[in-house]
Structures are given as C-alpha cells and as structure tokens.
Amino acid sequence: MIGPKAPRHGHQRARDTRRWTRRPRSSGGCRPTRPTPTRWSASSRSRSPALCSCCSSPASRLTLTGAVVALIFLGPLALITSPIWVPVAIALFVLAAAVLSACAFVVAAIAAVAGGTWTYRYFTGRHPVGADRVDYARSRIADTASHVQDYAREYGGGYLHSRAKDAAPGA
C-alpha cells in the first residue's frame, strides 16, 4: 500500500489512497449530523460528504414526500368536515378539563384530610409519624430566636440607646 491509510467516517472510506487533498467544507445550507473533524480523502474518487439529517437522508425525503401527499389529499377533506370536527374537539377539550379538574380536587381533598388528621393527632399528643422532626425543628427555631435576642441585647442595645439620645437631645 502506498501512502497513509484512509480514516474511516462511518460507512464511507476513500477509494484512492495515493493522492490526498483536503476536502472542502460545505458553504451553507444545512449542517451534518455529526461534527466533522479534519478529514482527508482522495480528491477525484471520493464519496459525498456526511449525510445531512434534514435533506439528504432517504428517510427524511420519504417522510417529507408522505407529509406533502397527505396534506394535498386530506386537506380538502379536513376543510369540508371541519364544521363537524370543531365542536367535537371543543367538547372533548371541555370533557378532558372537567375530568382532570375532578381528579385534582379529589387529590386535594385527600391531602387536606390527611393533613388535618396528622395535625389533630400531633396537637392531641398522639405523636404521628414525623412528629419528632417537627419537634426538633421547633426547638431549633426557638434556640435560634433566643440566640438572636441575646445577641441583640448584648451588641445592639447600646447602639439603639445611643441613637435614641441623638434623636431627642432634650429627653
């Protein structure tokens, strides 16, 4: 074999391994599906560059053709029968909204009953599940509040009294 080995790019490989030139980049339009690193290929007998997902793949062409044909043939049918479909669509939308709202109200009612039951058990002293965490949080909040109060008395009391004297010098 003469020259370096051709780098692979998916299923594409250069046929001529003797003469190597840099493949020019495409100048616009769509972008390839994968990032294109620097590739070397035979200039005269290389295959086309990487397929583009929006215009070059056979599957996308078939999908686009099928969509256009369906629009051409089914468009007039949809336009003629639209006086039937619009009220049906509105009725289905209202029905779906009512069912979802009813489900949401049921879930909210269950949550309210469960929360009320838990609160009643907590305040009557039955210690429901999670009561220890609530007690711990309550004690932490009370401790933090007392520390802040002590700090304010220790460091802020003199500041506030001095400002009060400045604000009312005759008092």
Please give the structure tokens belonging to residue 157.
């009391």
Q: What per-residue confidence (pLDDT) applies to 44? A: 46
Ordered mean pLDDT values, 10 residues apiece, the chain (171 residues): 55 52 53 52 49 64 92 91 92 98 98 96 93 95 94 75 56 54
Q: What per-residue confidence (pLDDT) applies to 59? A: 77
Please say whether the dihedral angle defined by the alpha carbons of residues 101, 107, 108 and 113, taken in this order, is positive or negative. Answer: positive
Q: What per-residue confidence (pLDDT) applies to 58? A: 75
Please give the Cα distance from 122 to 81 (Å, whole number).
Answer: 61
Strand partners, 9: 12
Strand partners, 68: none
